[in-house]
Amino acid sequence: MCRKGKTTVPDTLKTPLYPLHERLGASMAAFAGWALPMSYPAGTIAEHKAARSGAALFDVSHMGQVEITGDGAAEALERLMPQDVVGLKDGRQIYGFLTTEDGGILDDLMVSREGDVLRLVVNAAFTEADLDVLRQGLPEAEVRHDTSRALIAVQGPDAEDALAAHAPEVRQMRFMDAARSGSMWITRSGYTGEDGFEISIPAGEAEALASALVQSGVQPAGLGARDSLRLEAGLCLSGTDIGPGTSPAEAGLKFAIPKVRRRDGARAGGFPGATRILAELTGDGPARLRMGLRPEGRAPFRAGTPIFAGETAETPFGHVTSGGHGPSVEGPVAMAYLPRNPPQPDSLVWGEVRGRRIPARIVPMPFHPHAYRR
Amino acid sequence: MKYTENHEWVSLEGDIATIGITEHAAKQLGDVVFVELPEPETVVAKGDEVVVIESVKAASDISAPLDGEILEVNDKLVDGPGLVNEDPLGAAWFFKMKLEDPDAWADLMDEDEYKELTE
């Protein structure tokens, strides 16, 4: 157990909101090299519920913000990812991923367009790796890692009202819209399954905005709530639920590959691993899929929990990639890669926790319905 | 009230000890979401893991503070694990055990010693 009192996390980077976290009494943890709040005095479950029924604020400044400019940048980016970057309109955002030659996923990311500028948000743990790939793949373009800005997520049904006081533009936005409001670049998106916004803001202005939002009743929320929210929403964590060893179809991310990049599309293929990735989109698809599990009882299936086809089966046929308690579903939830056939949806599998087999039902994801403002 | 270095509190009445976790431990664990209790009449030795606690963060356990036999467990925690965060020193006791040697209780940490440990 940790020491009492102020928790210090050595050798970590601090976000522009670090002083605010300390003032709010956060318990800090190291994540991808950054000191970030694990939870605030309200506790993870209360923070989670605030995002589902009110509004919650997350410091996601650790994520990599990358700006790409230059002629042909969109075309060049399509050589690295199977999304429609060329067709991305000004003021819109897409979800996508960088792929590997083997048809796996290097990292997932968001791309928004402001005029001729493409703005990417990539995962903190993979920022350097992604930058290498982007710079090699886009030699003609300028790829700039913008470390001068914070990133704040405001999530929940009350997010629009809370943010509109500072950026009235947000009232006109729909899910995956992107808009400028003064020095802020705002997208209507997030990582919780709720309606909400991510705000890119100059570091020096971040604390004033965040503390005003908290003053107005937005609940500050830490990494614990962020993880349970995205888990209930069925969203992948890069490096955990997806990675070089999992293809987009296996991960259930077919929705993110538009027609124009699929076989017979106007700009079909042309990205790393295209042969396998596109082949898996047709016919029977891959042999295994990322599936949702609802374990019986209250014991969570944590990452690594082996999953068996039967109560006495000797060898596991899959493992949990991430799992834990779902405060909104009021019970444990987990994701695992399991053979597509069998089991069928709703069939029973078994997880082994502390030497005991616990039944779990395969259910469709998300575990908690999305509430995006489309 | 006595304490262990595993952040448990142990109170004694006759030769029957009641065991729970300290406020410090409950705070460090975060929201508790699952509790697994031992079977009554189980004979346990000091250090045996007898309770599993899972919080939103991680799994941990409570070990028997002394030798003895489990007499009674607090079933309320199974359906309401959040009680551990609400009232760790009261309603959220985990189990009662009959101590083999009640005198050994006196050798556990007193409040000052425990405070020192957590500072």
At residue A5, the pLDDT reads 39
Does pLDDT of A340 surpass 90? no
Tokens of B46: 């000091």
- Residue numbers in B near A299 (CB within 8 A): 34, 36, 54
Query: Mutate which of B57, B84, B85, B86 to disrupt the A interface (most A C-beta within 10 Å)?
Result: B57
Peptide bond before residue A157 is cis, with ω within 30 degrees of 0: no
Its pTM stands at 0.94
Q: Which residues lie closer than 8 Å to A1 by C-beta, 6 or more apart? A: B7, B24, B25, B28
E strand residue ranges, A203-355:
219-220, 288-295, 306-308, 318-326, 331-339, 348-353
- Residue numbers in A near B34 (CB within 8 A): 298-300, 325, 332
Residue type, A334: A
- Cβ-based contacts under 8 A for chains A and B: 47
Our CA dihedral for B77, B86, A294, B36, rounded to 10 degrees, sits at -30
Q: How large is the average pLDDT for residues B100-117?
A: 96
Residue A345 — very low, low, confident or very high, per pLDDT cuts 50/70/90? low
* Average of per-residue pLDDT values in chain A: 95
At residue A344, the pLDDT reads 59
**Which ipTM value was assigned to this complex?**
0.90
Query: What gap in Å lies between CA A155 and CA A200, rounded to an integer?
Result: 14
Q: Give per-residue pLDDT as tens, B50-94.
A: 999 999 988 999 999 999 999 999 999 999 999 999 999 999 999
Residue type, A212: A
Residue type, B50: V
Compare CB distances from A44 to B24, B31, B118 and report the shortest one's residue. Answer: B31
Query: What gap in Å lies between CA A354 and CA A322, rounded to an integer?
Result: 17
Query: What gap in Å lies between CA A140 and CA A161, rounded to an integer?
Result: 42
Query: What gap in Å lies between CA A218 and CA A227, rounded to an integer?
Result: 18
- Residue numbers in A near B80 (CB within 8 A): none
Sheet holding B32-36, edge to edge: B32-36, B49-55, B59-63
Whether residue B30 and residue A298 make contact (CB cut-off 8 A), yes or no, is no
**Residue A298, min C-alpha distance to chain B (Å):** 6
Q: How large is the average pLDDT for residues A215-237?
A: 98
Does pLDDT of B25 surpass 80? yes
Does pLDDT of A329 surpass 90? yes
- Residue numbers in B near A43 (CB within 8 A): 30-31, 85
Tokens of B101: 């040697």
CA angle, B63 as apex, B58 and B64 as ends, to 5°?
160
Contact B38, B59 (CB under 8 A): no
